[in-house]
Amino acid sequence: MRRGWDRAPGVLCLALSWAALCRSWEPADAEAFGPQSALSDVEFAVAASYRGPGNNDTRGNRELPILLWWSAGLFPHFPGDTERVDCARSSCLVTRQRKVQLQRRTTAIIFYGTDFRAYEAPLPRLPHQTWALFHEESPMNNYVLSHTPAIRLFNYTATFRRESDYPLTLQWLPSLEYLLQPPAVSLQEKNRWRRAGLAPVLYMQSHCDVPSDRDRYVRELMKYIEVDSYGKCLNNRQLPERLENTETATGEDSEFMSFVSRYKFHLALENGICPDYMTEKLWRPLHLGCVPVYRGSPSASDWLPSPRSAVLVDDFPSPRALADFLRQLDADDAAYARFLEFKRPGGVANAPLLEALRAREWGVNDMTKPNYLNGFECFVCDRENERLAAQRGCPLPTPGYGQPEDIAQNDSWAQMWLQDYWQSLDQAEGLESLILHNESDPSLLWHHIHQLAVRRAGHH
């Protein structure tokens, strides 16, 4: 089993353990081995260096753990590819350059759920690396992530599920005030619109072939109650020309809002069904003072402003029974008005909802708060630094004076001690590998170190 390894210059260097010789390494190996060279000096220069309040991390950029955004398109920094982030408690280097994938300092890889592809996963998965998942979109965007074997691959998650590490459950609800806004159209006026020919129920959907199969339900419901449908799905009404282009927009357009708020009931049917997956389809009617007729998260009632603020489709045995109930409410102003009582002072009785809105650190359309992408990145950064601090024996030696990045390449202290520190790590990992492979000859250490190096270099 000693084929080849003794001819590899890198291994020779390790065996002798002295820095000067290591300079002659092949560039690919040197890069694979040398945590110092993960990113070039130019790239370090680009990374801004400042310290956030409450963050007393004094390390230079070269000593920070690296978080790699595997989904480069989501990298939440502009315009560079690499950035220093100073989070609540510690700092990290974040990058979208995949070439750092197999670097030791790359301690976490962050994935965007919608873009995650099992057949493009960064393998081999290094034992020291954690995976983080940011997945705020509908389950239909990537059903791989609806399965436990996939979800448990990730050490940190930010998803719509309340159980995730950095929950985005209320990502579509901007604030409590948003819910409490007085009804845009009074009940009297809604009744006038009803007499003028408007249906009691609004449906507006242009994405028809979805896993929740909502149109099949609505088609049946339409047999028992009038539904005005303006979108492409089950269309039976034309939008005014002025509004045609805003129909699929998220609907901040005020004319559009006035148009839809004349309806007593909004069919609010998510495109995919999963616990805690709730979108603007639920919150917007509540905001406008229309009653959502909701199907989506089976546990949506946990988040409603009051127990009676939405009609939950799944509470009814059939579309016909739901239609009966809606017609009853349509004819009974007092009963209808009770669905809007949560807008009165003190009307929001749901303590977990209030607490979740108060406690979340990110904002929705709020420039004074971090967005959840940067927030999650920092969550991972602080957790990774805690993890590394807990498991590391002793830190990398630092210069007695000045910053590590100011030390010359040929500085004798750096050549001796930084090399020694990292080469010792090679040996520790080599020993780990010996044990993992159940070897009985400790002199196979060099072979294992070499194999680890070749594996890293081979994946560049």
Ligand X SMILES: *[C@@H]1O[C@H](CO)[C@@H](O)[C@H](O)[C@H]1NC(C)=O
The C-alpha atoms of residue 312 and residue 321 are separated, in whole angstroms, by 12
Which part of the chain contacts ligand X (CB under 6 A), choosing from 151-159, 245-253, 329-337, 449-457?
A: 151-159
Shortest CA distance to 281 belongs to which of 292, 289, 291, 273? 292
Applying CB under 6 A, among 2, 7, 117, 152 the residue interacting with ligand X is 152
CB of 120 to ligand X, least distance (A): 18
Site for ligand X in 422-441 (CB under 6 A): 438
Determine contact, residues 303/309, Cβ cutoff 8 Å: no
Q: Is 51 in the site for ligand X (CB under 6 A)?
A: no
Q: Between 4 and 395, whose beta carbon lies closer to ligand X?
A: 395
- Indicate which single residue of 1, 7, 50, 56 sits in contact with ligand X (rule: CB under 6 A): 56
Among 346, 408, 441, 442, binds ligand X (CB under 6 A): 408
Residue 58 carries which side chain, given as an amino acid letter?
T
Please report, as residue ranges, which positions from 368 to 387 form the binding site for ligand X (by CB under 6 A). 387
SS3 13: helix
Would you say 107 or 261 has its CB closer to ligand X? 107
Which CB atom, from 238 or from 438, has the smaller least distance to ligand X?
438
Number of residues that bind ligand X (CB under 6 A): 9
Range in contact with ligand X (rule: CB under 6 A) among 114-122, 150-158, 183-191, 243-251: 150-158
Cβ 439 to ligand X, closest distance in Å?
A: 9
- Which CB, 129 or 142, lies closer to ligand X? 129
Residue 254 CB neighbour total at 10 angstroms? 10
CB of 138 to ligand X, least distance (A): 25
123 binds ligand X (CB under 6 A): no
Task: Please give the helix or strand (H or E) that residue 28 lies within, else none.
Answer: helix 27-33
Ordered strands of the 291-295 beta sheet: 227-229, 201-203, 265-269, 291-295, 311-312
Q: What are all long-range contacts of 187-193, with beta carbons under 8 Å and residues at least 24 apart?
A: 187/333, 187/336, 187/337, 189/262, 190/262, 190/263, 190/264, 191/333, 193/262, 193/263
Indicate if the alpha-carbon torsion angle 283, 308, 275, 350 is positive or negative. Answer: positive
Residues 233-272 that bind ligand X (CB under 6 A): none
Contact (Cβ atoms closer than 8 angstroms) between residue 404 and residue 190? no
- Shortest Cβ 133–ligand X spacing (Å): 11
**Residue 56 or residue 238: which is nearer to ligand X going by CB?**
56
* Cα gap 388→391, rounded to integer Å: 5
The yes or no reply on residue 443 touching ligand X (CB under 6 A) is no
Q: Which listed residue (24, 254, 410, 424) binds ligand X by CB under 6 A?
A: 410
Kindly tell me which of 340 and 378 has the beta carbon lying closer to ligand X: 378
Between 155 and 403, name the residue whose CB sits nearer to ligand X: 155
Distance in Å, CB of 125 to ligand X, minimum:
8
Interaction between residue 413 and ligand X (CB under 6 A):
no
The residue type of 419 is Q
Sign (positive/negative) of CA torsion 144, 147, 153, 159?
A: positive
Residue 100 has which token pair?
Answer: 């750092």
Per-residue CA distances from 375 to 73, 84, 369 (Å):
17, 14, 9
Single out the segment in contact with ligand X by CB under 6 A; choices: 30-38, 75-83, 149-157, 283-291. 149-157
| Closer of 91 and 350 to ligand X (Cβ) | 91
Note whether 394 binds ligand X by CB under 6 A: no
Distance of CA 309 to the CA centre of its chain: 29
327 SS3 class: helix
Beta carbon of residue 117, minimum distance to ligand X (angstroms, whole number): 18
Q: Which of 61, 82, 130, 205 binds ligand X (CB under 6 A)?
A: 130
**118 forms part of the interface with ligand X (CB under 6 A):** no
Closer CB to ligand X, 334 or 390, in the complex: 390
| Strand spans (E) along 218-286 | 227-229, 265-269
Residue ranges of alpha helices (H) inside 181-318 are: 187-195, 214-221, 254-260, 280-288
β-bridge partners, 130: 108
* Terminal Cα distance for the chain, rounded: 25
Interface segment toward ligand X; rule CB under 6 A; list 67-75, 147-155, 185-193, 316-324 = 147-155
Nearer to ligand X, 133 or 243 (CB): 133
Site residues (vs ligand X, CB under 6 A): 56, 130, 152-153, 155, 387, 408, 410, 438
